[in-house]
């Protein structure tokens, strides 16, 4: 069953008139009477389609659903900006695994150079990917892609836990810090997870991050690619907090 996110007003009106209407009518080739899930990021309902056009779909609510598929903690991924399209995959898979928000982060070893003229189009693309992944994984919310920022522009004071994914910790045998943090998490904790780009984290960045409270953590005995680290962290949190 397909899920769609719409505004609160449209949910109250039982109308889908965004690009999703085209998706329902043309891509999915849905018919009157077909059932869909619809959410405004607060409520989620099971609905039955009552009319279909390429620019507008109407529905009636069959049942309000109570299931909440969100992680018990709010994890924001601060991803050191990687090469190519890797960030799109990171956002997609991390959304499926329960990430709360994303901040693409430009660090010293990021090869990416931000063109201010293309910033909004990139953010729009990332937000679309997060929306589609949220629909696919039946999330209650769509993770926010907050902004593309340089590391020193970010204020981390609002977070309860600060995790720095640092490959050198794995090389020196640290397999304790990450496990300790995950076990200490409490419901509704706000967690910042910072992951370096392909080239890793610069020594000056490491000292800065540790000075503001980040704990350098190895993620097991193997060295992970930058595009793998967020999935490892989110899966570990889910295992510890949800699979009981």
Mean pLDDT, rounded, for 200-228: 94
Mean pLDDT, rounded, for 215-224: 90
Mean pLDDT, rounded, for 100-127: 94
Mean pLDDT, rounded, for 64-86: 93
* pLDDT higher than threshold 80 for residue 238: yes
Residues 130 and 228 in one domain: yes
- CATH code of 27's domain: 2.40.240.20
Q: How confident is the model at residue 68 (pLDDT cuts 50, 70, 90)?
A: confident
- Residues with Cβ within 8 Å of residue 35, at least 6 apart in sequence: 1, 46, 47, 48, 49, 62
> Using one digit for the tens of pLDDT, what is the confidence trace for 170-208?
566 567 899 999 999 999 999 999 999 999 999 999 999
Residues 130 and 221 in one domain: yes
Residues 24 and 87 in one domain: no
Token digits for 160?
């309860």
Residues 59 and 147 in one domain: no
Domain end marker among 19, 45, 65: 65
Taking the C-alpha atoms of 196, 116, 159 and 90 in order, what is their torsion angle to the nearest 10 degrees? -50
Residues 115 and 190 in one domain: yes
Residues 32 and 142 in one domain: no
Query: Picking from 9-18, 30-39, 174-183, 223-232, which range would have the lowest pLDDT averaged per residue?
Result: 174-183
Q: Dmax over Cα atoms in the chain, in whole Å?
A: 62
Residues 191 and 85 in one domain: yes
> Using one digit for the tens of pLDDT, what is the confidence trace for 132-171?
999 999 999 999 999 999 999 999 999 999 999 998 865 6
Domain end marker among 16, 40, 65: 65
pLDDT of residue 113: 85
How many H helices and E strands in the chain?
Answer: 8, 12
Residues 171 and 102 in one domain: yes
pLDDT of residue 18: 86
- CATH code of 190's domain: 3.40.1280.10
* pLDDT higher than threshold 70 for residue 231: yes
Residues 21 and 107 in one domain: no
Domain extent at residue 200:
74-242
- Residues with Cβ within 8 Å of residue 96, at least 6 apart in sequence: 133, 136, 137
pLDDT of residue 153: 96
- Residues with Cβ within 8 Å of residue 157, at least 6 apart in sequence: none
**Structural domain count of the chain:** 2
Residues 52 and 129 in one domain: no
Percent of the chain with pLDDT over 70: 98
Residues 81 and 61 in one domain: no
Give the span between the Cα atoms of 52 and 20, in whole angstroms.
11
Domain end marker among 14, 35, 65: 65
- Which residues are registered as beta bridge partners of 161? 191
Query: Picking from 71-75, 106-110, 112-116, 140-144, which range would have the lowest pLDDT averaged per residue?
Result: 112-116
Residues 59 and 118 in one domain: no
């Amino acid at each position: 069953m397909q899920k769609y996110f719409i505004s609160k007003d449209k949910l109250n009106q039982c109308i889908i008139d965004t690009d999703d209407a085209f998706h329902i009518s043309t891509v999915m080739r849905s018919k009157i009477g077909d059932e869909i899930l619809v959410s405004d990021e607060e409520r989620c309902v099971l609905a039955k389609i009552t009319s279909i056009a390429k620019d507008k779909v109407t529905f009636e609510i069959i049942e309000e659903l109570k299931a909440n598929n969100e992680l018990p903690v709010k994890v924001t991924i601060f991803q050191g900006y990687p090469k190519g399209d890797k960030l799109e995959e990171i956002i997609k898979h991390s959304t499926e695994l329960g990430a709360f928000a994303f901040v693409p982060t430009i660090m010293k070893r990021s090869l990416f150079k931000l063109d201010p003229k293309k910033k909004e189009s990139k953010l729009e693309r990332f937000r679309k990917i997060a929306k589609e992944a949220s629909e696919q994984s039946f999330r209650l919310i769509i993770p926010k892609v907050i902004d593309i920022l340089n590391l020193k522009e970010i204020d981390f004071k609002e977070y309860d836990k600060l995790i720095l994914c640092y490959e050198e910790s794995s090389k020196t045998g640290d397999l304790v810090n990450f496990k300790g943090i995950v076990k200490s998490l409490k419901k509704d904790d706000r967690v910042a997870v910072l992951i370096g780009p392909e080239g890793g984290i610069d020594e000056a960045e490491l000292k800065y991050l540790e000075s503001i409270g980040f704990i350098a953590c190895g993620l097991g005995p193997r060295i992970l690619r930058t595009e793998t680290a967020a999935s490892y962290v989110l899966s570990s949190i889910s295992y510890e907090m949800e699979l009981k």
